[in-house]
Amino acid sequence: MFNPPLKTWPFQYFRLLWWAVLMLTLLPAIILALDYINKNLGVNGLETLERVTGRWAMILLILTLFITPGRRMLLRLFRRIGLRWGKRLPDWNFMIHMRRMLGLVCFFYGVAHAGVYLELDLSWDWDAFADDLSEKPYIVAGVLSLALLTLLAITSPDEMIRMLKRNWRRIHRLIYLIALLSIAHWWWMSKPGDLRSLPYILTLLALLAYRVIVWRSWFSGKDADDGMPVAPRESPRA
């Protein structure tokens, strides 16, 4: 799938790590499916299905957006600790190769979330869907968010990256818009006083703020790292 530039353990065991992370992030979906089969979804089953799928789409979005700043944070941490491994940014490049999988799991939860809404809430009544769209901005935000995420999922394979060249990065910057739309979606639909969405929203906003700060310093020439994906072929920077 890719050629690790360094023979450090996250690269040696990358496949194992990749599968472990995939299974871990899919675990909530598996538990939810089992609860559905065993009729163990709690008092309001529809709400549970909508909330769990929506929340996990959000968590995966956070994890996806955490990769770039997370790499640098771990680098600083490991430099401070003073271990032999982990002092160079490329040591953490394995995280970047997790990102596509995390993004696709996010897409999976988004599709499940929309599927619950279309099947159980709307019963595929398109007139009712049109009414919802005209009435509820948060549904518009959710639909737009998932539509853009679908575009990113379609353009995620290696062949598409090769084919789209520079445009691929432009397209995948839409993830920031997706994050904003998802925040709006959740915040608008939360009732006043219900702050359960707040930790997720604040984390996402912090991750977006990080980009703004990086871009600003990038434009002023202080830091060359624009927070965008580092392709494996790029030369490692210390």
Partner 1 sequence: MASKRLTENDVTPPEIYRGRRLFIASAAALLGAGWVDRQAFPACALLKNPDTLKAAGEKPNTLEEITSYNNYYEFSTNKEAVRILAQELTTSPWNVVIEGEVAKPITLGIEDILKKFPSEERIYRLRCVEGWSMVIPWSGFPLCHLIEMARPTAQAKYVEFVSLHRSKEMIGQRGGSLEWPYREGLRLDEAMHPLAFVATGLYGNTLPKQNGAPLRIVLPWKYGFKSAKAITHIRFLREQPQTSWNKIAPSEYGFYGNVNPEVPHPRWIQKRENRIGELRKRPTLPFNGYAEEVAHLYAGIDPLLQF
Task: Kindly report the backbone phi and psi dihedral angles of residue 98, in degrees, each rounded to the nearest multiple of 5, phi listed first.
Answer: -90, -20
Applying CB under 8 A, among 6, 74, 121, 169 the residue interacting with partner 1 is: 121
Question: Counting contacts by CB under 8 A, is residue 232 touching partner 1?
Answer: no
> Smaller CB distance to partner 1: residue 159 or 194?
194
Question: Counting contacts by CB under 8 A, is residue 136 touching partner 1?
Answer: yes
Name the nearest CA neighbour of 148 among 203, 106, 192, 187.
Answer: 106
Applying CB under 8 A, among 3, 7, 38, 43 the residue interacting with partner 1 is: 43
Question: Counting contacts by CB under 8 A, is residue 123 touching partner 1?
Answer: yes
Applying CB under 8 A, among 28, 45, 69, 86 the residue interacting with partner 1 is: 45
Question: Counting contacts by CB under 8 A, is residue 196 touching partner 1?
Answer: yes
Query: How is residue 11 annotated by DSSP?
Result: H
Euclidean distance between CA atoms 128 and 70, whole angstroms: 42
Angle between helices 198-219 and 174-189 (to 10 degrees): 150
Task: Kindly report the backbone phi and psi dihedral angles of residue 35, in degrees, each rounded to the nearest multiple of 5, phi listed first.
Answer: -60, -40
Euclidean distance between CA atoms 56 and 104, whole angstroms: 12
Applying CB under 8 A, among 159, 162, 192, 220 the residue interacting with partner 1 is: 192
Q: How many residues bind partner 1 (CB under 8 A)?
A: 25
Checking phi first, is residue 77 left (phi over 0); if not, alpha (psi -120 to 50) or beta? alpha
Q: Which stretch binds partner 1 (CB under 8 A): 57-65, 71-79, 118-126, 164-172?
A: 118-126
The nearest distance, CB 130 to partner 1, in angstroms, is 12
Name the nearest CA neighbour of 185 among 147, 212, 227.
Answer: 147
Question: Counting contacts by CB under 8 A, is residue 126 touching partner 1?
Answer: no
> Smaller CB distance to partner 1: residue 123 or 220?
123
Q: Which stretch binds partner 1 (CB under 8 A): 2-10, 43-51, 159-167, 210-218?
A: 43-51
Applying CB under 8 A, among 49, 52, 60, 114 the residue interacting with partner 1 is: 49
| Per-residue CA distances from 152 to 83, 183, 206, 226, 227 (Å) | 37, 18, 22, 20, 18
Contact at 8 Å (CB) between 121 and 47? no
Residues 142-181 that bind partner 1 (CB under 8 A): none
Euclidean distance between CA atoms 198 and 205, whole angstroms: 10
Question: Counting contacts by CB under 8 A, is residue 40 touching partner 1?
Answer: no
> Smaller CB distance to partner 1: residue 20 or 133?
133
Euclidean distance between CA atoms 210 and 94, whole angstroms: 21
> Smaller CB distance to partner 1: residue 124 or 224?
124
Instruction: List contacts with partner 1 (CB under 8 A).
Output: 41-47, 49, 120-123, 128, 131-132, 135-136, 138, 188-189, 191-194, 196
